[in-house]
Amino acid sequence: MIKIGVIGCGFIGSQVCTAIDSGDVKAALFGIFDNSEEKMDAILASLKSASPEKCAPEELIAKCDLIVECASQEAVLKYALPAVQKGKDMMILSVGALQNPDFRSALQKEAAANHSKIYIPSGAIAGTDGLKAAAAANLSFVSVTTRKPLSGLAGSPYLIENNIDLANIKEPVLIFEGKAADAVVGFPKNVNVCATVSLCGVGFDQTVVRIIADPTISENIHELEAFGDFGHMKMTIENQPSPQNPKTSYLAALSVISALKKITDPIQIGV
């Protein structure tokens, strides 16, 4: 049974721990880490059967088989390379960190050299399987349009740098249009789906991203569109935000649990 360490004890991390604790994911929860003692204590108090330890990330990397990152792009940049260099597998949720081509190349090289796997769940969007298939031929255009309530965008660096005051927005407004490479930097906690789509399709510099601030909705809505030799794909998903964090869609947590089930289950469906 594989030993899992979780970095980041927010909504997604707590859902992962609960799924392992309940036996829904057939793995052992060895340890957890978060900068917040309160969040770690809340998870430990909620678990019934598993008894994970509070561990520094370095200890998780040393003693676990798989590290699940549910924290931030900064955590990916800090811990992913050391993990794969020690031959450990890594599951990355803050996929925007991979927009850095030098970091991405180094991570891929070290993972291959040390026989490690890097897992990237589909997150809060659907259609990544079809997009990957379409990319086997020519893809001429890929875009992601994200529509979020104001609470889901608050505090984003792009808004601060461009003096965009969400309090002044009373109707849906396009606040960003550009390439995914810029979107994941300007909105590091909001548009990881754009990074995942970029990796599946035409890359960070060719994927078009539009972000709409919409005070009239409560859902996080993502629309994926692609054109290529395969034809035309258009898919919309309306996500319920997590109860604890409006920046995170509930489906993102479920996609991690699904990915862990796939890794630990001998029967593979939809590969």
User: Which tokens in the block code for residue 195?
Assistant: 């990074």
Residue with tokens 């794969």: 84
Q: How large is the greatest C-alpha to C-alpha distance in the chain, in angstroms?
A: 52
Query: Is 4:28 a contact under the CB 8 Å cutoff?
Result: yes
**Separation of alpha carbons 235 and 88, rounded Å:** 35
Strands (E), the chain: 3-7, 28-33, 53-54, 66-69, 89-92, 118-119, 139-148, 173-179, 208-213, 220-228, 231-239
**Separation of alpha carbons 221 and 241, rounded Å:** 10
**Separation of alpha carbons 111 and 191, rounded Å:** 25
Distance spanning both ends of the chain, measured CA to CA: 22
**Separation of alpha carbons 154 and 151, rounded Å:** 5
Q: Which long-range contacts (CB under 8 A, 24 or more apart) does 238-247 make?
A: 239/124, 241/149, 241/152, 242/11, 242/12, 243/11, 244/10, 244/11, 245/10, 245/11, 246/149, 246/151, 246/152, 247/152, 247/153, 247/189, 247/190
Catalytic position from the list 39, 88, 147, 222: 222
User: Which tokens in the block code for residue 230?
Assistant: 């395969």
Specify the pairing of strand 3-7 against strand 66-69: parallel
222 catalytically annotated? yes
**Active site positions, annotated:** 222
